Amino acid sequence: MRARFWELPLAALTREEWEALCDGCGRCCLHKFEDEDTGAIAETNVACRLLDCSTARCRDYTHRKAFVPDCLTLTLKLVDDIEWLPHTCAYRLRANDEPLPDWHYLISGDREAVVRAGVSVAGRVISETVAGPLEHHIVEWEDVE
Ligand code: SF4
């Protein structure tokens, strides 16, 4: 990967650089509801079965599509289209030509800094395998600025 690749426009990133941009917050890996009438999105604290809820890391990222075919693959176009991406999401920030925050591991060199910054869902979510009805788990995730 190129030096300071995260300062390049998203469209210029290689596949490897694109993947490395994710801060690992885990918000992508939570179930959401879309209101059929209004299109409004409600978020939950229920995680995909593959997510390790204590670390907010996918337990089999490489093969995830085999287990969860509808797992989101973020693309340049989707970054603009998905309204629920948190303001802290590295893809959203860079799409807006904003810098990565100090706690991002590419800046801090520390993968745990996202947890200390209060951005990660680690330890704050429950797996879909034990959660029961999603309607009981609607939450509002605060976006840390
Ligand atoms: S919201 Fe953005 S930074 Fe967080 S896990 Fe999803 S893609 Fe990665």
Which residue's CA lies nearest to atom 8 of ligand 1?
22
CB of 20 within 6 A of ligand 1: the answer is no
Which mutation among 88, 91, 98, 106 tests ligand 1's pocket best, with the greatest number of atoms within 8 A of CB?
A: 91
Residue type, 91: Y
Q: Which residue has the tokens 């300071």?
A: 4
Residue 144: predicted pLDDT: 61
Residue 38: predicted pLDDT: 87
Q: Place 98 in a pLDDT band, splitting at 50, 70 and 90.
A: very high
Q: What is the CA radius of gyration of the chain?
A: 15
> In percent, how much of the chain has pLDDT > 90?
90
Q: What is the mean pLDDT of the chain?
A: 94
Statement: residue 137 has pLDDT above 70: yes
Threshold 0.75, pTM exceeds: yes
Residue 145: predicted pLDDT: 53
Q: Which residue has the tokens 């340049």?
A: 76
